[in-house]
Structure 1
Amino acid sequence: MKQIVKLLILLVSISAFSQGPWTQEKGKFYTQFSYSTIPSYDTLFGDPEYVINGNITDNTFQFYGEYGVSDKTTLIVNLPLKSISFNQNVMCVTTPCNPIKHKETALGNLEIGIKHNFYKKDWLFSGQFSVEANTSSFYIDSGIRTGYNAYTFTPLFIAGKSFNKAYLQTFIGSKIRTNNYSSNFKVGGEYGRKISKNLWLVGFLDIEKSFNNGNVVLTGSNIGTGLYVNDQEYGVVGVKAIGEFSDNFGMTASLPAAFFGTNVAKQVALSVGIYKKF
């Protein structure tokens, strides 16, 4: 059972979609480096859906870390590096007409936070609060944006329970943004089960709904790409797997897919990562 609890601590922080009530032990580090991609797409969710003027590939290289200040309190840091390509269609008189190729690599929204466990019996109840800094970049010629031009404050209430070779966790909260961006309501959860000696399989759900309370004015080129525009929302379901090579080292993979959305890519994403405990 002790080994199961250790694995659960790893499971709750393997992706941006996952928030769990488990905290790190005092003085312990958990680190993860991951790569996620939304491959070439030209369609965004909407009512109705709409096509952008070209194809975008959105890649993210991400470092995630947790540190146990005490057995009940954990510090969190998330550092995303975005690499976005945009093959922009152009109108020309002669044929063939080649697209204009744009590619930018820059920081996304750096996130820092704190998680505190305030109840720990059969169920665990924790609170988490994080801040995403306005550290992204915008390139007006291409319309590429690597994050929101805003600060984002995310309070969450998280609950979870471990079973024999399984766990369940859920969260509810909001994302509050500055600079006249709309804020979002956030809810979701996941169920994970150990299916072999070193392999876990997890199903997850993540939903964000916009409050439609912002009226930020964005440039035409940014609206044209749909990257980090206002009133983005989605519902995502997916699966992820965790393979443990040793007690403190392993690999993760996840495959989320949106079943609804507004102003987000209509394309399946893929994420892989490696983690290390210290």
Structure 2
Amino acid sequence: MIRYLTIFCFILSTSYAEAGGGWTQGKKELYLKFGQQWVIFNQFYDKDGATITDRSRSFGTTSLYAEYGISDRLTGIVYFPFYSKSTLFEQKNSANGMVLHDGETFSSIGDTNIAIKYGLLTQSRIVVSASLTLGLPVGEVNKGTDGSLQTGDGEFNQMISLDFSSSIKVAGAYPYVSLNTGFNNRTEGFSDEFRYGFETGIGAGKWNIIFKVFGVKSFYNGSVDDNLFFEGLLSNNTEYTIVSPELAFKMSDKWGVSASMAKAISGQLMYVQPSYTMGVFFDLDI
């Protein structure tokens, strides 16, 4: 039977994909987003990519995401899940209804990302930026009776990435395309990762329609066994490709609301069911 899995790199990868492509914020401009993300899952891709079923779990975060223009080229970025909750649902015998395992839950703040983004090309048809992201292991690991509840992965990671974006005006709308590539250095014996992403969208009036594809490939250079239940986490050598449609509506020039879904269409050591996010965002000048 598969070991209990709760894989936080998926939750973190959605925040990683939040960053606004190759564009940086203007000086003293602030973008804020308060988001609620959740997933309920009982199916997983195993290490061979096959789908298997295990005990039902859920994970959710209430988070703040912020981008602030330190200068016209330099943007500071923070992703802070100030409330994260991991749940292991009650398990019953399907034949007689007897409780086999009681349900459990654990909550705390979650692993936090801080980043800086620098605009390499800002005035050309294709804008290019470089980012350095630090993943701070401030969440908790190894909680619950079996040690499988946690709100972080217990390792400090550093990621460098490049973003390429372009947009043109077409009949009053603003379609755009962005490409992302990055290298994520992980510690505590976890394998390093290659990350990639594609995003396209269109802004028309108050509406923004966005579609993202992003994923992770492992370098398989870690020392942690990816078949073992490691301190409540099994997140080494995780790989996936995720698709994520998003719809945003601006209530005014200063704020709006958004909704998105993220679904792994392939992967290994990764859960199958989609996650959902609702958000409220603000565009401010300080």
The TM-score range, normalised by the shorter chain, is 0.7 to 0.9
Percent sequence identity is 22
- CA gap of 1:31–1:228, structure 2 versus 1, over 3 A, is farther
Q: Which of residues 257, 260, 278 is equivalent to 2:263?
A: 257
> Is this contact kept in 2: 1:76–1:114, CA < 8 A?
yes
Whether 1:126 aligns to 2:132 is no
Query: Cα deviation per residue 1:236-270 (whole Å; 9 max; x = unaligned)?
Result: 11211110011110011111211111111110111
> Is this contact kept in 1: 2:228–2:234, CA < 8 A?
no
Whether 1:192 aligns to 2:201 is yes
SS where residue 180 of structure 1 aligns? coil
Whether 1:212 aligns to 2:220 is yes
Gaps of 5+ in 2: 1-13
The match for 1:64 is 65
The match for 1:104 is 106
Looking at structure 2, the residues matched to 151 and 200 of structure 1 have their Cα atoms a distance apart, in angstroms, of 34
Q: CA deviation at 1:42?
A: 1.4
Please report the TM-score for the alignment, with normalisation by the length of structure 1.
0.86
Looking at structure 2, the residues matched to 191 and 135 of structure 1 have their Cα atoms a distance apart, in angstroms, of 33
The match for 1:73 is 74
Over the aligned positions, Cα root-mean-square deviation in angstroms equals 2.4
> Is this contact kept in 2: 1:204–1:237, CA < 8 A?
yes
Q: CA deviation at 1:217?
A: 5.8
Q: CA deviation at 1:128?
A: 0.5
Alignment of 1:1-278 (within 5 A): 15-19=15-19, 20-39=21-40, 41-46=41-46, 47=48, 48-52=50-54, 54-80=55-81, 81-87=83-89, 89=91, 96-120=98-122, 121-138=124-141, 139=143, 141-142=145-146, 143-164=148-169, 165-194=174-203, 196-216=204-224, 227=233, 229-278=235-284
Looking at structure 2, the residues matched to 237 and 262 of structure 1 have their Cα atoms a distance apart, in angstroms, of 16
SS where residue 114 of structure 1 aligns? strand
Please report the TM-score for the alignment, with normalisation by the length of structure 2.
0.84
Moved over 6 A (4+): none
- CA gap of 1:215–1:51, structure 2 versus 1, over 3 A, is farther
Q: What is the number of equivalent residue pairs in this alignment?
A: 260
Looking at structure 2, the residues matched to 78 and 136 of structure 1 have their Cα atoms a distance apart, in angstroms, of 13
> Is this contact kept in 2: 1:144–1:222, CA < 8 A?
no
> Is this contact kept in 2: 1:146–1:228, CA < 8 A?
no
Looking at structure 2, the residues matched to 228 and 59 of structure 1 have their Cα atoms a distance apart, in angstroms, of 18
Looking at structure 2, the residues matched to 156 and 21 of structure 1 have their Cα atoms a distance apart, in angstroms, of 10
